[in-house]
């Protein structure tokens, strides 16, 4: 379940509301093009601005539409342990195979606080838990020693590592057991992380290029490192281009440009600038994603 190219799904919107039809179409598009699993309601899914009802409905739709064709790893983390447990219980109830739980943002917990937060969630809900470390978003970095300690809890099974530090990745992989998985949280670092032992990526880029990102990761997992390297270099402009403005602004714009979703994003995020849009269009045209 926790290897390969896994898409951190955007949440399509129309007139300020969740666009259920296009969300279902996006799920089908991902599965048709070889994605290994789906993550609704993560950072890319604008989880921070979804209401409880929207958050749960998006998870439910993705579970329904995927229909067991691929695992669903629901984003259920928040800066409240109580709220995280509530959403994680819901994810288990509707049939998610795992939950992705981000480090609490804004609170700035200590390393002990992080440990107790994740332990409380794992103790409360019997579902595989994927830790999510993204200090650029949360203002707290979960250190390797904390990840290693948490990895000893039975149902904490993996970490999505988005610190951008290969040293940190090395320390984690060196310190955990072989059955604990590490996944890249940065598209541009997927192949470098896999060279260190990561099992794949929870990808933003695969929203728009699922077949290509899946092929890149599969090449590496199957031992064809040269083909994986070539695809990494080909896709590298896309990996960087989808972060020229705050995620998920560029990836939602890219999906709109190819006709998959409406051009709608929720405040406080706003539409991509004209300058950024032109840069993104060039990248998509160079990759033959946009004709």
pLDDT digits (tens, 9 = 90+) for 202-214: 999 999 999 999 9
Per-domain boundaries in the chain: 4-224
Could you tell me if 157 and 181 are in contact, meaning their C-beta atoms sit under 8 angstroms apart? yes
Could you tell me if 272 and 245 are in contact, meaning their C-beta atoms sit under 8 angstroms apart? yes
Q: What is the 8-class DSSP label of residue 72?
A: B
Q: Is 160 a catalytic residue?
A: yes
Both tokens of residue 68? 């067991």
Could you tell me if 236 and 55 are in contact, meaning their C-beta atoms sit under 8 angstroms apart? no
- With a cut of 70, say whether residue 10 has pLDDT above it: yes
Q: Is the pTM of this model over 0.75?
A: yes
What is the rounded average pLDDT of the residues 113-124?
98
Q: Report d(CA 227, CA 19) in Å as an integer.
A: 37
pLDDT digits (tens, 9 = 90+) for 150-175: 999 999 999 999 999 999 999 999 99
Report the mean per-residue pLDDT for the chain. Answer: 97
- With a cut of 90, say whether residue 9 has pLDDT above it: yes
Q: Quick one: pLDDT at residue 133?
A: 98
Q: Report d(CA 143, CA 132) in Å as an integer.
A: 12
- With a cut of 70, say whether residue 231 has pLDDT above it: yes
Q: What percent of the chain has pLDDT over 70?
A: 100
* Given the residues 3, 92, 115, 132, the one annotated as active site: 132
CATH superfamily of 4-224: Aldolase class I (3.20.20.70)
Q: Is 115 a catalytic residue?
A: no
Q: Quick one: pLDDT at residue 288?
A: 96
pLDDT digits (tens, 9 = 90+) for 21-32: 999 999 999 999
Q: How confident is the model at residue 291 (pLDDT cuts 50, 70, 90)?
A: confident
- With a cut of 90, say whether residue 2 has pLDDT above it: no
Q: Quick one: pLDDT at residue 1?
A: 62
What is the rounded average pLDDT of the residues 104-117?
97
Q: How many helices and strands in the chain, by DSSP H and E? A: 12, 10
* Given the residues 3, 160, 199, 253, the one annotated as active site: 160
What is the rounded average pLDDT of the residues 108-127?
98
What is the rounded average pLDDT of the residues 82-97?
98
**168 vs 125, 184, 282, CA distance in Å?**
28, 12, 34
């Amino acid at each position: 379940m926790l290897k390969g190219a896994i898409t951190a799904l955007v949440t399509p919107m129309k007139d300020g509301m969740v666009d259920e039809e296009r969300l279902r179409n996006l799920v089908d598009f991902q599965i048709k093009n070889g994605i290994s699993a789906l993550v609704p309601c993560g950072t890319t899914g604008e989880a921070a601005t979804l209401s409880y009802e929207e958050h749960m409905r998006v998870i439910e739709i993705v579970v329904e539409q995927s229909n067991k064709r691929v695992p669903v790893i629901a984003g259920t983390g928040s800066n409240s342990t109580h709220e995280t447990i509530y959403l994680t219980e819901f994810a288990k109830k509707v049939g998610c195979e795992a939950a992705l739980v981000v480090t609490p943002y804004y609170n700035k917990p200590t390393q002990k606080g992080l440990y107790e937060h994740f332990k409380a969630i794992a103790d409360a809900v019997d579902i595989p838990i994927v830790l999510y470390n993204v200090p650029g978003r949360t203002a707290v970095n979960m250190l390797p020693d904390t990840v290693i300690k948490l990895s000893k809890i039975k149902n904490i099974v993996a970490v999505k590592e988005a610190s951008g530090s290969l040293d940190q990745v090395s320390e984690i992989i060196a310190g955990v057991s072989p059955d604990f998985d590490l996944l890249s949280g940065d598209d541009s670092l997927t192949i470098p992380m896999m060279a260190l032992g990561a099992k794949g990526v929870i990808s933003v880029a695969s929203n728009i290029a699922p077949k290509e990102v899946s092929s890149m990761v599969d090449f590496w997992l199957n031992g064809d490192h040269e083909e994986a390297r070539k695809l990494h270099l080909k896709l590298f402009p896309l990996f960087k281009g989808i972060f020229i403005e705050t995620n998920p602004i560029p990836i939602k714009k890219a999906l709109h440009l190819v006709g998959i979703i409406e051009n709608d994003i929720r405040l406080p995020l706003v539409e991509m600038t004209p300058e950024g849009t032109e840069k993104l269009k060039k990248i998509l045209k160079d990759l033959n994603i946009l004709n």
